[in-house]
Every structure is written in structure tokens, then in C-alpha cells.
Chain A
Amino acid sequence: MELIELNNLTKVYISKDLTSFKDYFAALLGRIPEEKFFAVNEVSFSIAKGEFVGLIGRNGAGKSTLIKLLTGILTPTSGGLSVLGRIPHRSRRQNNYKISAVFGQRTQLKWDISAYESFRLIEYMYEMSHARWQSNLDRFIKMLDLKGFVYKPVRTLSLGQRMRVELCAAFLYDPELVFLDEPTIGLDIFAKEVIVDFLLQIRREKQATVLLTTHDVSDIEQLCERTMILDKGKVVFDGNTAGIAEILEMGIFLEFKCENREVKLPPLLEGRQVTSEPHCLKIDGVEKAAVPALAQAVMALNNVLELKVEPPDFEKVLKNFYASKTFSKA
């Protein structure tokens, strides 16, 4: 069964443009025409149980609106939506027992008291058995390495510590669906690693379905097999994370280090993006199938000491992606 199903979901915000000081008074009298903004525009997709899906989009692409619709905080303007077999804005309270969220820039923990107190609140709030709660807590404290600060007031924690505590709180009650919104924002590599490892573990055990929103594409590369790209309220890409590069044909980057100073170029290279330097030959934008033939041709003419093959950089792929909007029809 699909955990999330969207069918032509649309959310329209109505706003008024106030350009001058006078407009503020006109607005009071209702004289400024309303403008419609399609934050989410006829979006359809479905997510199965246990999937980890990355959601990418520029600021204002509609990511947050989409998440709010899925959690039932917002009511859609039109279209069909089902989460955990229910319509979220009608059954928000029931769904909440099985939904969880981490918003990187906000905290769900009580500021002045220890994280442990907040965890206890979760035990009662989600009507957990004490044994279940205790075993989850012990496990997560170990996995996220919370031992040193779980009893300290949340306001005294560093950002990295706080995020780990937040994640513990988010997964503590065995939610079926978890929204992670920028969970690694502003973290150093050590805290990030702990969090990514934790999520990988969760993924391996298929404990929860996760929808991950982030600007840090390396998170998505590591965690999500499937990626969706949202732009101007529409899903413009939905598929294999690694497949984005393939579809875009950004191509692979090859670098040959040669013994000979003057690098000889085989005729096969005609029309390709080639940079040749002393002892070095770089070829960019090579499609996967052409790699062996190219490598062979270069090695036949030169004494190659070292060969580097790099898949396209995800960030670069995205940039290219936004630049070439024609791709959305592919």
C-alpha cells in the first residue's frame, strides 16, 4: 500500500501587492486586487512504505507548503491527497500519532528543561508502553551519542547536540512517516556524520518512511535513492537520485596523467570538451558508454600513469538542471 498519494494537488495562496504607503490604506478598504499564487500546482506522486525520498527545490519552490499539506496543517485548494490512508487535514489528530517532523531551524523540545523531560512527555503523549519507550531511548542514546547532555537544559546545548536530541525525539515513538526539513543545516562534519549514520541505520531497518528536504545535496546522495525536484510548485523531476545526472547527460569527467609531456590526442576526441596540459589530459562530459573506448584510445597513444574517472557533481547537475528547463518535458 502507498503511504502517501497525491493526485493533482493544488494549493493557492491569495496575496495583495502593496507597493506604496498609500496602498496600505487602500488595502484596509479592500481596494487592492487579490493575486493568486500557486504554491503547489497540480502535483501528483506516491511514496511507498519504507522509502527515503529527497525533496529538492530552491527557496519558494513550494517544499514547505507541500509538507504542511501532507501533515494536514494546511488545507489544499483542490486535488486529492491521502497520507497513511487518511485525508490529512480531516484526520490530522489521528495521523499525528504516526507522523513526526524535524525542522532544522526550529525546536520541538522545551527550551528551559532537559531533553529527557521532553522525551518523557513523548511517552505519555503517544501513549507508549514504558518498556517500548525505554528500549527505544536506550538505543537512540547510544546511536546518537547523547549520553553527555541528555539531562541538560536544551537552551545550553550546541547546535549539533540539539539536532541529535531533536532526531531522537522525532523517532522515539516509532513514527511511520517522518519529515526532515534541513536536518543538517549549519552542522559541522562530525555532527553531520552522526546524523547521517543514524538515518542510514533507520533506513536499513525500514523503520520509517522519510521525506527529506535539504539544500545540502550530499545528504540526499547518501540517504535517498529517490529524489524529487520541485520548482514553481510543480514536480519537475521524480526518479532515481543517481539518474538525475544520467538523464541530464552531464557526462563523466576523465583525467589522464601521462609520462610524456606532450599528450597525443586520438581522433576520437574530436568535438569533445578537451583540455590538454603538460603531462595531463582532461575530458569532460563523456557519456557512460563511451568511456572504455575513449580511455583505450588515449592509452594507446600515451604512456598513462594515472586515470581518474569522476561521476558528475550533483550540485553541478542541479545547477544545469535549473538552467535547462526544457528537461522537465523529457
Chain B
Amino acid sequence: MLQKLSARLKLRAAFARIGFARNQVYAIATYINVLTAFLFVAIQYFLWKAVYENSVAGAYSFKEMLQYVVAAEILSACIHTNADRQLGAMVRTGSLAHVMLKPVSFTEQIFFESLGVNIYRGIFVALPLLLCAVFAFGVEYRFGFFELAGFFALAGLSYVFIYLFELLLGLVSFFSINTWGINSMKLAVLTIFSGRFLPISVYPEQVRAAVDCLPFKIMYFAPLNYLIKGGDWAGVLLQQCLWIAGLFLLVSFLQGALLKKTVIQGG
């Protein structure tokens, strides 16, 4: 039993290592990431500075806004599994046939391989962003231990939610073969409903009410708003758990139903 568990853990670590190494081979891309990080923070800094000189964006001060948008960028660097894109590529190229011949489920492979990718991106994309923001532009990130711990717990759940959400989109692409429409939807959801680019609390009242009814704000807005503004931690956590449970059921159901209908392309 213990031996089986250890083999399982080793396998997962091996997937993660492969995900990590896969990125590492492109050394130049890593340097470009650092440069991009610097440019991103610069653009955000001057943009919001100009905006706040003429007006005030509701609930967020200039300092908080900068904290939010940079933290959102950092989070987005290492929170996406791109399960939809990976699954879509597998369906398109037919490599799914190979993946399905493994004694490990493809969802597990995708999750742990992208975990490795995200650890890589955490170190080589998110960290330069953070350092750049703090030291070059004086963005303040000083939080207490409990605030940080609370944030990481919420961000961890966001990770799971995003993975399930992307897996759902990928499964739908199984069915529709074409992924274009699904990608557009993902982009729209991320841009408008998740808080990826702006805190939802600065939206107009009616829009905010609509967004509040949807689950997508738990991807970015929930953990980031807690970090910067504080608030009802347990309430947010509960909300996340409920949505994750619902999504998990939906994904499991679709996975079972769609696998039965699989037609692997070509060959």
C-alpha cells in the first residue's frame, strides 16, 4: 500500500519535472520573460498614474490598484493549467490515442505536468515580475503572515477551480472538435468576469451584481481582493469550495459521457 503510494507520488513528481524541463530547454524565452515583466509593470504604473491624476476609481486607491493589477499578472503567470489547450491539441493531433493507452488518466497527466510548468513560470516569470514591481516601481507588498497564508489558501482553490474550468472547456472541445468558439468564451470570461484585469468592485453597480452571481470571480478577484482589502475569508473559502464541488461533478459526468463517444482523429 505504502509502496504503491510512493510509486504514485514519484510518477506525479516525474510529470512535474517533465513540465518544468520542457520549458527550461528554451533558454532565450526565459530572458524575454524577464524583459516582458519589466515592460508590463512599467505600462501599468504609468497608465494608472495617469488615470488617478484625473479621477478616483471607487473602492481602490492608486496604490491598491497597482498592487492588484501586478498581483493579478503574477498570479496569472502560474495559475493556468491550459488543460483546454492541451486537450485540444491532443484531440487535433491524435496523440490522445497514446495518452489513453497509459495506465494513468489523462487528467492526472495534464494536471501534474502543468504543475511543473507553473512552478517553472513561478520562478522565471512571476518572481521577476514581483522583484521588478517592488524594487523598480516601489509597489508595496507588505502583508502579515495570516493574510498571506489566507491568500495562498484561496489562490490554491482558485488553481483547482481554473484547472476544472479549463478541463471542462477541453472536454467540450472533444465534442465540438473545433475549439475556436470555446477559446473566445474563455477569453471573455477571464477578461470580464474573473477580475483578471480589474478588481470587480470598481465595476458599475449593475454589472457587479451580475458578476457576483457567476462563479468566475473566484479565479482572481476572490484571492486578490482578500489580500489587498481583507474581508470575510471563511465566506469566500466556502463559496469557492461549493463552486469547485459543482464543477467537479459536471466535469466527471462529461468525462464519462464524452469518452464513450470518442473518435480519435485520423490514423
Contact = CB atoms under 8 A, between A and B. Distances in A.
B262 interface: yes
Interface string B14-39: 11011001100110000000000000
A68 B97 contact: yes
Interface string B222-264: 0000000000000000000000000000000000000010111
Contact of A103 (B17, B97, B102): B97
- Contact size class for B? 20 to 34
Interface string B76-109: 0000000000000000011101101111110000
Contact of A121 (B11, B26, B260): B11
B142 interface: no
Contacts of B103: 93-94, 96-97, 125-126
Contact of A124 (B7, B105, B260): B7
A18 to B, nearest CB: 14
Contacts of A13: 263
Contacts of B262: 73-74
Contacts of B94: 106
A103 B14 contact: no
Q: In this complex, which of A71, A93, A103, A124 has the most chain B Cβ atoms within 10 angstroms of its Cβ?
A: A124
Nearest to A101: B101
B10 A117 contact: no
A110 B10 CA distance: 18
Contact of A153 (B4, B25, B104, B105): B25
B267 interface: yes
Contacts of A112: 21-22, 25-26
Contacts of B102: 96, 125
Interface residues of A, number: 32
B18 A106 contact: no
Given A13-B263, A73-B264, A113-B18, A92 B97 contact: no
22 contacts: A13-B263, A73-B262, A74-B262, A93-B105, A96-B102, A96-B103, A97-B103, A101-B101, A103-B97, A103-B98, A106-B97, A107-B98, A108-B101, A110-B22, A112-B25, A121-B11, A121-B14, A121-B15, A124-B7, A124-B14, A125-B102, A126-B103
Given A73-B101, A117-B17, 7 more contacts: A64-B267, A68-B264, A106-B97, A113-B21, A124-B11, A125-B102, A125-B103
